[in-house]
Amino acid sequence: MDIYYGVLIFIFGLVLGSFYTVVGERLPDGKSLINPPSHCPNCNHRLGILELIPVLSFIILGGKCKKCKSKIPILSTLIETTTAILFLFAYLKFGISINLFVALTFISMLVIVIVSDIRYMVICDEVLIIGNIIIFILLIISIGLKASLFALFYGMTSFVIMLSIKTLGDMIFRKESMGGGDIKLMFTFGLVLGIPSSVASIFLASFIGLPISLIMMKNNKSHELPFGPYLSVAAIILLLSGIDIINVLVNM
């Protein structure tokens, strides 16, 4: 039965990963999520059902459009695969529980954030608002209203901490040091992970992003790079690893 649920959740992740790519690429640009239907970006060939199977279609088609033979962007396939793997890890950690649905919602939000921030350097408010509402409702069901209100407080505190870091950074560098979306994202981190882990995500994201950013900055003269993807990766690591930040600090 565990294997059955694991496979089901993995497939579910593949399908949703494909949808999240569409959301991340279209929503920031003000485009409809439905129209036009999925198509080749080069020749506008409308994809058939057999061309829309997550990952499998990419492999069968050899990474090329069926009609014009141009290369299919690999981002969608990477997001599909990554989402499926993360969903499976979440299931292995939380089992079938309310906490699993909190984790899946959290991961879903962050996958969309990664796509949109890489593509447009934008984190959509709609994604954060809808995701936070769903998570808060799930928390009420799981831990009750009183504990959920404390979680809201943790979210607000994390938001204020990130806002303070941004304000200090703006003063030091005399320009905008961080996007508003990154600050809003910290509310979600505090809501789900708590204050210590949300703060830890900032440092972990910086550690992950530094070498990548140094390489990318060579080809990016504006030196403007999205921080949201690094924050998202760090938060997912902390969520699925279950690291107790306070316990780690106490025992250092």
Q: Could you report the per-residue pLDDT of 125-176, keeping only the tens digit for each?
A: 999 999 999 999 999 999 999 999 999 999 999 999 999 988 888 888 777 7
- Distance, in Å, from the CA atom of 156 to the CA atom of 196, rounded to the nearest integer, reads 13
What pLDDT does 122 receive? 92
Structure tokens at 201: 């995500």
The full set of domain ranges for the chain reads 1-95, 97-252
- Does 216 score more than 80 pLDDT? no
Q: Can you tell me the mean pLDDT for 78-98?
A: 95
> Which residue, 36, 40, 37, is CA-closest to 64?
40
Backbone φ and ψ for 208, nearest 5 degrees, come out as -70, -40
Q: Tell me the CA distances in angstroms from 20 to 78, 119, 152, 195, 213, one per residue in order.
A: 12, 13, 26, 27, 24
Structure tokens at 85: 């793997």
Q: Can you tell me the mean pLDDT for 199-211?
A: 89
What pLDDT does 48 receive? 67
Tell me, rounded to whole angstroms, the distance of Cα 194 from its chain centroid: 18
**Amino acid making up residue 83:** T
Least confident of 43-57, 162-176, 210-224: 210-224
Q: What is the pLDDT of residues 135-149, one digit of tens each?
A: 999 999 999 999 999
What pLDDT does 140 receive? 96
Task: Please give the residue that has the higher pLDDT: either 99 or 70.
Answer: 99
- Distance, in Å, from the CA atom of 236 to the CA atom of 23, rounded to the nearest integer, reads 20
| 192: three-class secondary structure by DSSP | helix
Structure tokens at 196: 């210590």
